[in-house]
Structure 1
């Protein structure tokens, strides 16, 4: 499968990411061939592979079985793919990474089963390659946190009183946990100490939160073609992210009446809301918070042993802030 061109400058990891995708493809053997092909197309459709990349890089601080680490990277990316399919079902999203989503092609029920199938693939890889029960236990804990984050987001839809703390609880589970899990598994399963693995876990969490903040900012600043998904869809569906929440904290009087229209908000009102978020400094504040999380992650990375993987970790984490990754 073709690897995203962003990894061309990092040959040390590019080949292993290619092997990660190949192993995922080998393990996706659903009986329904059209569904299997749709999943495989999604897997190979140009995702950035950041989570498996972080796992592989954190595993390079110890000499270890590279096939094992590639298999665990495949497990984490399979889990990520499963959550994306389920996200598209929840959001009724017609596209994913510039292509028709599985739920749009085959219906919501089939998409749910497709996501569930990928959970099985993930567990299969984890059970076969995890060194002991600690890795599997950590996986289950992170999976629970991811689902709790998703449920929190669902239960807080259209809540104009949502706080920034509630938002961070959502993203810590929804996005932060996958980066955190990847970092932990890479560090721990490679034979490093549990203390080192927990440090990696916390760094991964900060990177994941910063990544989600920046993703939410892009929803207000970029086009659908640039980010590979419909923009401004979250407001219409009642998913209120940091830029909007921070803007409401500055002035609720103009924004709340628009938001109370919920799914009936029209395009003109949506445009007004977006302009208000920008005017009230919501995007600027969210960018500052994302910068703080990134800087905290970079401080942790700079304390790691001076090995080639450290240099790459610092470079790609810094690049995330400008969304060059």
Structure 2
């Protein structure tokens, strides 16, 4: 039986929509190859918080869509989660990650061949769901552009691997693509399919982008402040793979003490990593990174406050505040 994250127990309306969304994904991924079908089903059942479809639904409920639009709304929301899942699988292949959300990754458990085909299957399901949701050329073009931006974000990160001259602007460009783009797409499409007023549709993009940027920054910070057990994933893998995120970028801009360690590249020892973390705290990089992330959280919350009065607006504000403060 498919279940949602416990956080949605306090939001029964959203929880019911998310369950419909998950059931539709499982239905759409039913294929003759049972190994790959089971792989997808296991992935869906071991999903995270379903934040992207959740934001889609929250924005859609700010609008005036009729019951006739319900199936389209479910399909469009499901498409955002399927695209997200496909990117996770492909990320894990590239990173050779063994764990995701506390469970073994597809590529680690079944091999890279199955993982590649599973990711490709999810991309086909993504377009299938999108076709079920709309015949709007504008929306199809928007989704195509969003996929391109996600890819460019990942390529930008790859280009800067082991680059000790990486700037904050380089980092921001990368996360605007790989993470913030899907939050932006989810919020905008929720407002669009929910037939929201033009004011809400107009603001939904920037709200989604700021949520996504803050979310990724905070996730990157946690890599330096949490244990593998608390995160349910290996920590400091990014550094070994040459992915230098916000805290470390601030550190390199502050002191040359980081460079001798980073020159070791993938050969960083556990002792080296511990020294890096100590240096980050010594130069106040963690706290400074939190302050930068907070500016984006504050922008998102301020924009939500400016939305027209609506019962779901309070839920949207509460969820965002909890997501970008309490969990970090």
Gap runs ≥5 in structure 2: none
Question: 1:115: how far off?
Answer: 0.8
Q: Which residue of 2 aligns with 1:7?
A: 8
Question: Does the aligned pair in 2 maintain the 1:214–1:323 contact within 8 Å?
Answer: no
Matches within 5 A, 1:164-313: 164-193=168-197, 196-252=200-256, 254-313=257-316
Q: Runs (4+) of structure 1 moved beyond 3 Å?
A: 193-196
Which stretch shows the higher mean deviation, 28-37 or 148-157? 28-37
TM-score, scaled to structure 2:
0.96
SS in 2 for 1:8: helix
Q: Which residue of 2 aligns with 1:39?
A: 40
Question: Does the aligned pair in 1 maintain the 2:71–2:133 contact within 8 Å?
Answer: no
Partner Cα separation in structure 2 for residue 189 and residue 135 of structure 1: 10
TM-score, scaled to structure 1:
0.96
Q: Residues 134-166 of structure 1, C-alpha deviation per residue, up to 9 Å, x if partnerless?
A: 211111111110000001111111101100100
Question: 1:321: how far off?
Answer: 2.1
Partner Cα separation in structure 2 for residue 142 and residue 171 of structure 1: 13
Question: Does the aligned pair in 2 maintain the 1:146–1:174 contact within 8 Å?
Answer: yes
Matches within 5 A, 1:125-140: 125-130=129-134, 132-140=136-144
SS in 1 for 2:61: helix
Question: Does the aligned pair in 2 maintain the 1:4–1:47 contact within 8 Å?
Answer: yes
Partner Cα separation in structure 2 for residue 179 and residue 8 of structure 1: 22
Q: Residues 51-98 of structure 1, C-alpha deviation per residue, up to 9 Å, x if partnerless?
A: 100000100122322222121111000000000001101100011111
Question: 1:194: how far off?
Answer: 5.2
Partner Cα separation in structure 1 for residue 227 and residue 36 of structure 2: 29
Question: Does the aligned pair in 1 maintain the 2:80–2:182 contact within 8 Å?
Answer: yes
Question: 1:188: how far off?
Answer: 1.0
Q: Which residue of 2 aligns with 1:143?
A: 147
Q: Which residue of 2 aligns with 1:81?
A: 85
* Corresponding residue pairs, total: 324
CA-atom RMSD, angstroms?
A: 1.3
Gap runs ≥5 in structure 1: none
SS in 2 for 1:56: helix
SS in 1 for 2:30: coil
Q: Which residue of 1 aligns with 2:55?
A: 54
Which stretch shows the higher mean deviation, 283-292 or 131-140? 131-140
Q: Which residue of 1 aligns with 2:159?
A: 155
Question: Does the aligned pair in 2 maintain the 1:2–1:44 contact within 8 Å?
Answer: yes
Question: 1:197: how far off?
Answer: 1.9
Question: Does the aligned pair in 1 maintain the 2:64–2:196 contact within 8 Å?
Answer: no
